[in-house]
């Protein structure tokens, strides 16, 4: 598994396409994909939005992590970092923010590579090569 994180609109997907040679049509979108598509795809962008949809259904994030690791260990995950800044007042938004952090932390521990992208530049946090 490879995890690409960073702020909104920082070029995470384009970076992953360049680095890993992924074609634009190999991605699923966390905003619109069917829940089970994540277990059979090459990469998911907007993973944070997938987690929001998953959380809205009241599903267990631990189960999501276990299933991803078991069923799609080569997945490339692209997610916004949403834990910085002000803590949301809305209880669901706080829960969602916590879930994204928990799930990405667990996936980062499993991943062979973790990269943070800022301004289209990847900074290796874990794994091979610094850019």
Using CA atoms, how far apart are residues 127 and 103, in angstroms rounded to an integer?
19
pTM (global) more than 0.85: yes
12 or 60, greater pLDDT: 12
Q: What is the CATH number of domain 2-126?
A: 3.40.50.300
Judged against a pLDDT cut of 60, whether residue 131 lies above it is answered with: no
Using CA atoms, how far apart are residues 69 and 83, in angstroms rounded to an integer?
23
pLDDT in tens, 25-37: 999 999 999 999 9
- How far from chain centre, in Å, is Cα 54? 13
Using CA atoms, how far apart are residues 88 and 19, in angstroms rounded to an integer?
34
Query: pLDDT band for position 83 (50/70/90)?
Result: confident
pLDDT in tens, 7-27: 999 999 999 999 999 999 999
Judged against a pLDDT cut of 90, whether residue 129 lies above it is answered with: no
74 or 128, greater pLDDT: 74
Show me where the domains of the chain are located.
Answer: 2-126
Instruction: From 1, 3, 4, select the one nearest 117 (Cα to Cα).
Output: 4
């Amino acid at each position: 598994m490879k995890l690409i994180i960073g702020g909104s609109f920082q070029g995470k997907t384009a970076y992953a396409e360049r680095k890993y040679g992924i074609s634009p049509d190999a991605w699923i979108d966390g905003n619109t994909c069917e829940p089970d598509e994540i277990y059979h795809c090459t990469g998911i962008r907007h993973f944070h939005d997938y987690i929001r949809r998953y959380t809205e259904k009241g599903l267990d994030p631990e189960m999501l992590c276990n299933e991803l690791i078991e069923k799609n260990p080569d997945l490339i995950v692209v997610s916004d970092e949403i834990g910085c800044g002000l803590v949301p007042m809305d209880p669901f938004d706080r829960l969602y923010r916590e879930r994204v952090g928990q799930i990405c932390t667990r996936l980062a521990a499993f991943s062979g590579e973790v990269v943070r992208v800022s301004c289209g530049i990847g900074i290796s946090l874990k794994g091979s090569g610094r850019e």
